[in-house]
Structure 1
Amino acid sequence: MDRIVDIASEDVFLHVHRGFLLVERQGEEAGRIALDDIGGVIAHAPGLRWSNTVFTRLAERGVPVVICGTNHAPSVLLWPLEGHHLQGARMRAQLAAPRPLQKQLWRQIVSAKIMMQGAVIERHGKPAGAFEMLARKVRSGDPDNVEAQAARRYWKLLFGEAFTRDRAAGGVNGLLNYGYTVLRAIVSRAICASGLHPTLGVFHANRANAFALADDLMEPYRPLVDDFVHELASEGIEAVTPEAKRRLATLGTLDLVHEAQTTPLGLHAQRLAHSLATSFELGKPRLSLPFTLATASAESRDFEDA
C-alpha cells in the first residue's frame, strides 16, 4: 500500500540509499522507507535539506512531492516529466476536449461531491435529504453554482453555525488544509499514472495553478477529509499535531463503495483519473466516481447527461 511520507522536523537531510529514502539528523539515521512503498511526500519543515537524487528517484516512480506553507496548504508540487506510455495521445485528447464535454464532466464531479457531503452529514445523524435534491439540480457546467449552495449548508451542519471555511486560519481549518494536501498528493499521482496533464483542468483554470486537474478530481473526495477532521475535532484535536498527521496520512486506505465493490481511496483515484482519460478519448463523460462510505443506491449513481 502506498504511504504518504510527512517531513515536519527541522534540520534533517533526505537522501536515497539502495532503494530507500533515508532521513538523517546530525549525521545519524532517523528513519527510512522503501521508495517503492511511497505514494507521496509532504514537506513542512523550512530547514529541510534534500539530495537531488531524491527527486529523480521519486519521479521515476511517479511520486509527487508537495512542499507546504505555514498554513499546511501546498505551495509547490513537483511533477515527473515522464508518465503513462500513452501520455502524448491522451494529452492531445485532453487538450482537444470540447467545452460541452468539460461542462458535462464538471456536472458529474459536482454532483458526486454533493452526494458525498450528504453521506457524511447522514453519517453524523443529521438530515441529508437536501443534498440529494441539490445534487440532482446540478446542470451541465453548474451555471447555478449549486456547489456553493450545498457548501453553505454543509459546513454549518458539520462543524456548527459559527464555523467558516478559511484557508488562512488555524485550528480545524489547518487540519482541513493538511488533509486536502494529502488528498492532492494522492490524486496528483493518479493523474500522472493515467497520462493526463495536471495543468489542464476541467473546471479550475487559474493561470497560476499548475495542478488545476488535481483540484478538479479531488472534489468528490474532499468530504472524506472533512469527516476525518470532524472525528479529530470531536476528540479534542484541533491542531496539526503528529497524531493528526499520522491519521490523515492514512486517507488513501479509506474504503469507498463503487459498483457494489469496496475500493481503497488511493486505488479509486486511479480509476477516476483513468476514466477521465477515457472520457477525453471517447468524447463522452464516463467518470468512475465515488459516492459514499456505505452502500450507494443505484439511483444515486446515475449522473449521465441526457
Structure 2
Amino acid sequence: MHNRIVEIVSDGVHISVSRGFLKLSLKSKTVGQIAIDDIAGLVIRGHGASLSANICSRLADANVPVIICNDSQTPAAVIWPVSGHFAQGLRMQAQAVANKPVSKRLWAQLVKTKIMAQAFVLEQAGRNAHDLREMSLRVKSGDSGNLEAQAARRYWPRLMGVDFRRDRTAEGINAALNYGYAILRAAAARSILSAGLHPSLSLNHQSRGDALRLADDLMEPFRPWIDLCIVESINTSNRDSELVLDPDLKADLVNVLSQDLHSNHGASPLQLCMDRLAQSLAGVFLGENKALDLPGIPVFSGSPTMQAAG
C-alpha cells in the first residue's frame, strides 16, 4: 500500500528510477531510495531539484501525484495521473454531473466532522470546547450558517493564544501549519486519484485555477490532527510562537499520515481513512451509497469514536 510521502528539500537533488525504486542523488552520490509502490506522493521543495519526463510517467503509472511547493510550503503545481484507475472515466463523469444538493449535503458532513475534531483538539489541550461541539450539531446543508468560519474564529485563539493569526506567509507556527497541510493535501490528492476522481471538481472550494480543489475539501476533517501535532511539539519542547520548522518537526508532521484513527472499520492509519473517504465519495456520485466514510478521533485518546454526520 502507498503510505509514504517523499519530500525533496535540498537544491541539487537529482531524482531517477532504478529497478522499481525512486533514487535520490546529490553530486552523483546516491543519498536515498524507496520503492515506487510505497510512495503516496512526491513533494518537491528544493527548487534546484531535477527530474525527467520518464520519472513523471513512471510515478503516474503508479498513481503517485507530484507536488511542487513554493517558498511558503504551499503547493504551486501538481503533476497527476490521468489514466490510473480502471473506472476513472465513469467516476469522473458521475462526479461532473453531481447535482448541487448532493454536493451541499456532503460538504455539511465534512464540516461537521472537522468542527468535532477541532473540539477534540481543544479538549486535549485543556481548553473548553463545549460551544464547538454544540456548533457541530447545527451544521446544515452547504454549511449555510457558515459555522466552519465561526468555529475557526473561536478555535485558533484558544489553541494558539489570543494574539495568534492564521497567516500563510508567516513563519513559526504558521509555517509549520503550511507544511503539515501541504502534506495532507498531497495525501488527499493521492487518495482522490486512486478513487478515479478528478481533483479539481470540488464540493465547495472554488479557487480559480486550482487543480486540487477537491483535495482541499477532503482534507478538512484531517487538518485538526496536524494542529494537534504542532501543539504537542510546542508543549514537549517548551517552544513559544517562534516554533522552528526543523527536520524533527517535519518528520512528526509526515508521521501524522500513519496516526491510527477510529473508523467504521476499526483502527486505521490516517492515509487509509483518507483513501476510504475518497472511495466513499466516488460511491455517492455513482449512487451506491449516500454518506461519506468519515474518520474518527486518534486511537491513542481512548475516547469514543466521533460519529460522522448523516
- Provide the TM-score with structure 1 as the length reference: 0.95
Residues 101 and 284, structure 1, Cα contact 8 Å, conserved in 2 = no
Where 1:29 maps in the other structure, the secondary structure is strand
Identity %: 42
- 2: distance between equivalents of 1:37 and 1:286? 30
Residues 64 and 188, structure 1, Cα contact 8 Å, conserved in 2 = yes
- 2: distance between equivalents of 1:259 and 1:124? 26
- 2: distance between equivalents of 1:258 and 1:272? 11
1:263 aligns with 2:264: no
- 2: distance between equivalents of 1:99 and 1:230? 37
Counterpart among 296, 304, 309 of residue 303 in structure 1: 309
- 1: distance between equivalents of 2:302 and 2:94? 34
Identify the residue that residue 9 of structure 1 maps to in structure 2.
10
- 2: distance between equivalents of 1:163 and 1:198? 31
Residues 68 and 75, structure 2, Cα contact 8 Å, conserved in 1 = yes
Where 1:250 maps in the other structure, the secondary structure is helix
Where 1:21 maps in the other structure, the secondary structure is strand
Where 1:111 maps in the other structure, the secondary structure is helix
Q: Deviations over 1:124-182 (max 9, x none)?
A: 12222111101011110111110011001110111111111011111100000000011
Identify the residue that residue 56 of structure 1 maps to in structure 2.
57
Identify the residue that residue 178 of structure 2 maps to in structure 1.
177
Q: Deviations over 1:207-264 (max 9, x none)?
A: 3111110000000000011111112233238122122212211121011111371110
- 2: distance between equivalents of 1:54 and 1:216? 28
> What is the CA distance between 1:297 and its match in structure 2?
5.0
Identify the residue that residue 26 of structure 1 maps to in structure 2.
27
The 4+ residue runs of structure 1 with deviation greater than 3 A are: 294-298
Where 1:289 maps in the other structure, the secondary structure is coil
Identify the residue that residue 94 of structure 1 maps to in structure 2.
95
> What is the CA distance between 1:273 and its match in structure 2?
0.3
> What is the CA distance between 1:283 and its match in structure 2?
7.7
Identify the residue that residue 282 of structure 2 maps to in structure 1.
277
- 1: distance between equivalents of 2:265 and 2:289? 23
For structure 2, list consecutive stretches of 5 or more residues without a partner in the other structure.
none
Residues 60 and 84, structure 2, Cα contact 8 Å, conserved in 1 = no
1:240 aligns with 2:245: yes
Residues 109 and 308, structure 2, Cα contact 8 Å, conserved in 1 = no
Residues 118 and 131, structure 1, Cα contact 8 Å, conserved in 2 = yes
For structure 1, list consecutive stretches of 5 or more residues without a partner in the other structure.
none
Counterpart among 284, 287, 292 of residue 292 in structure 2: 287
Where 2:171 maps in the other structure, the secondary structure is coil
| 1:123-142 to 2 correspondences below 5 Å | 123-142=124-143
More displaced, 134-143 or 234-243?
Answer: 234-243
Identify the residue that residue 188 of structure 1 maps to in structure 2.
189
- Provide the TM-score with structure 2 as the length reference: 0.93
| 1:114-263 to 2 correspondences below 5 Å | 114-234=115-235, 235=237, 236=239, 238-259=243-264, 261-263=266-268
> What is the CA distance between 1:92 and its match in structure 2?
1.1
Total equivalences in the alignment: 303
Identify the residue that residue 104 of structure 1 maps to in structure 2.
105
> What is the CA distance between 1:60 and its match in structure 2?
0.8
- 1: distance between equivalents of 2:224 and 2:290? 23
> What is the CA distance between 1:18 and its match in structure 2?
1.1
RMSD: 1.6
